[in-house]
Amino acid sequence: MLLSNSFSPGLGALEHAMDALADLFADVVRVSGAHRAADPLTALARADGVFVGGGNAFRLLQTVQRNGLLAATGGRVRAGMPYLGVSAGANLACPTIRTTNDMPIVQPASLSALGLIPFQVNPHYPGASTQEDLLRDARDRRLGEFLEENDVPVLGLCEGSWLRVSGDQATLGGTAGGRVFTRGHASRDVRPGDDLTALLRTRPRYDSPAH
């Protein structure tokens, strides 16, 4: 489950997704921080689920590359362990972190991430309001540049929205919508409840300039 952010306007932390999260983590009660564990890999092996929060996506990726949690988390989630990613944690679920909004304050070994989904996510996508028109136009240009170099769909998640992937099904949920960007096609807006399963059939091609 991938969230744009932890808060939706007027609601508490994760409240906009609480019902879906209760379902995702039905058998998980206590949360402990991997950064506090003497051995993060042992802590992961004993965990029933993973919650990766926000922050700088470059520093997050570098950290999980160095401590071995990137490969280990990918293996556990592919074996069925629930994964919740918020903001940078949503970027980490993609094949790469190339569609993060963050500044590259550190240099990871590579930009390759977990690859739990075969397409890219862009969190904090500006909403459809007049006040955010300029921000949305600027973001659209940046994502358009990404698509000029990479043949991979991008799902822009507005604040308050989330993507739930279960088996071979993907659904948009939350209190807001988003936008799907695909090379060679006009971008399209999506709303909570929309079926985005087709994105799971993506065959991503990176560093593949458009001709």
Residues marked active site are found at 87, 102, 124
Axis crossing angle, helix 69-78 with helix 57-66, rounded to the nearest 10: 90
| Residue the block writes with tokens 């988390």 | 73
Outline where the chain has alpha helix (H). Answer: 18-24, 40-46, 57-66, 69-78, 88-92, 133-149
Q: 196: exposed, middle or buried (C-beta count within 10 Å: 0-12, 13-18, 19+)?
A: buried
The amino acid sitting at 165 is V
Closest CA to 119 of 156, 76, 174: 156
For 92-105, give the DSSP string.
HTSSBSTT--S---
The amino acid sitting at 191 is R
What value does the CA radius of gyration of the chain take, rounded to a whole number of Å?
17
Query: How many helices and strands in the chain, by DSSP H and E?
Result: 6, 9
| Residue the block writes with tokens 């679920």 | 93
